[in-house]
Amino acid sequence: MRRTSTVAVLVSFGAALTLALLLPAPQAQAQDNRNRSPYLAQEGLELTLSGGLILGSALLPKIFKDEAFAEPPCEACDALQINAMDRPVTGYYSGGAKVLSDITVSTLILAPYALSIADVAVDDNASGFLKDAAVLSQTLGVNLFLMQMVKFSVRRPRPFTYNPEAPLEAKLEQDSSLSFFSGHSSTAFSMAVAYAITYQERHPNDPMRFVVWGSGLGLAATTAGLRVAAGKHFWSDVLVGSLVGTAIGIVVPALHMRPDSGRNNAVEQRSSGAMPIMFSGAF
């Protein structure tokens, strides 16, 4: 029964994920508001589906919990078996770095919503915010669901589990076997990139777009580095997480882009000196 229930839940999440990605958007309507959303989205339905993905992702650890997590994942593991790139951080453990990484990733999750509200507030364009929020939430939901599925499929021991001085209680937690890939890194980069694209599409010629790209990616990179310092991830974990997050942060907004978005308008203005950087800031 437990296996059947798990399969049913995963199929349901997969269907929600497909709907969220392939949902047909309504036709664009002419608007004079310069702060309108650059996206086409059915806000209510897409926010609901995204909320389901986020909630489902949070519940996956309980669904997958089993006896495999009853013993320390690396009580007698050999660090020499770790690849050369990851081996130097084997055994890292820092509670302070973990707390800081939680703060930075939380900032990158919440800040895009707050900044989008501020961006549309000037013109009282609530519908524009809801479309932005739908795309941001979909980015977050897709990222979390994919990350959790990979983590529980791979079950790679975290670096700190190789440290004999790390607390046994921490080693016995289910989370100690979920190193690959870094969810903090993928979440940080996906939200940083998705919001940077959103801001740039609203303001294609605004110099502040460089600040948005730089600060977002800088904080995301800091998050990844802190996860390594905390002993939560190997370098390969954060590298893959960063690439996956960046890809999701690009693809989800691109699937919802309006045909008359700021990017396209900026392309038409090249002759006047405006140069779009739609994706260049993501790498």
Contact (CB, 8 A) for 177 and 154: no
Q: What is the pLDDT of residues 155-206, one digit of tens each?
A: 899 999 888 888 888 888 888 889 999 999 999 999 999 999 999 998 889 9
Number of domains in the chain: 1
In a domain, 191, yes or no: yes
Angstrom distance (rounded) from CA 268 to CA 201: 14
Angstrom distance (rounded) from CA 247 to CA 156: 23
The parent domain of residue 122 ranges over: 95-162+178-267
In a domain, 73, yes or no: no
pLDDT at position 31, please? 46
pLDDT at position 112, please? 96
pLDDT at position 19, please? 57
End-to-end CA distance of the chain: 46
pLDDT at position 98, please? 96
Token reading at 44: 């209510």
In a domain, 283, yes or no: no
User: Residue with structure tokens 């990733």?
Assistant: 105
Blockwise average pLDDT, block size 10, the chain, 283 residues: 53 57 51 64 85 86 69 68 92 94 97 90 71 94 92 91 86 89 97 96 91 97 98 97 97 89 49 36 32
In a domain, 70, yes or no: no
pLDDT at position 129, please? 87
In a domain, 32, yes or no: no
pLDDT at position 61, please? 83
* The Cα angle at residue 110 between residues 227 and 264, in degrees rounded to 5: 105
pLDDT at position 127, please? 65
pLDDT at position 272, please? 40
In a domain, 103, yes or no: yes
pLDDT at position 15, please? 56
In a domain, 244, yes or no: yes
Q: Which amino acid is at 211?
A: V
pLDDT at position 138, please? 93
